[in-house]
């Protein structure tokens, strides 16, 4: 369970909260702009995070999906298992195309 925040129409309060949590990505730098990777900014872009804020998906930042699993402490096994579980669930719904 979690929340998806589309960048389009995001309130200043939500934007500041995501910045404070270090979750919000910005419009691309001049290199991404030169490659047209920022066309139609911020349309079609957003951020999902789980309720515990240990799992994030950035949609259409530089990549189509950037999947992040993290947490405080040293339990890398739990971080990895969360990531693998999420990738498997995503692949069930969006078959990976090679």
In tens, the pLDDT along 5-53 reads 998 888 989 988 888 888 886 655 677 677 666 676 677 788 999 999 9
pTM for the full model?
Answer: 0.75
Query: Which residues are known binding-site members?
Result: 22, 66
| Contact yes or no for 48/56 (Cβ under 8 A) | yes
The closest of 55, 69, 63, 57 to 37, measured between CA atoms, is: 63
Residue 13 carries which DSSP code?
A: H
Query: Which residues are known binding-site members for ATP?
Result: 22, 66
Token pair listed for 62: 């530089």
CA 73 to CA 41: how far, in whole Å?
Answer: 35
For domain 2-93, the CATH class is alpha beta
CA 95 to CA 77: how far, in whole Å?
Answer: 25
């Amino acid at each position: 369970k979690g929340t998806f925040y589309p960048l389009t129409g995001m309130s200043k309060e939500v934007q500041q909260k995501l910045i404070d949590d270090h979750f919000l990505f910005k419009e691309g730098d001049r290199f991404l702009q030169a490659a047209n990777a920022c066309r139609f900014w911020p349309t079609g872009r957003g951020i999902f995070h789980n309720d515990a804020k240990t799992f994030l998906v950035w949609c259409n930042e530089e990549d189509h999906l950037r999947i992040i699993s993290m947490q405080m402490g040293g339990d890398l096994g739990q971080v990895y298992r969360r990531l693998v579980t999420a990738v498997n669930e995503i692949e069930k719904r969006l078959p990976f195309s090679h």
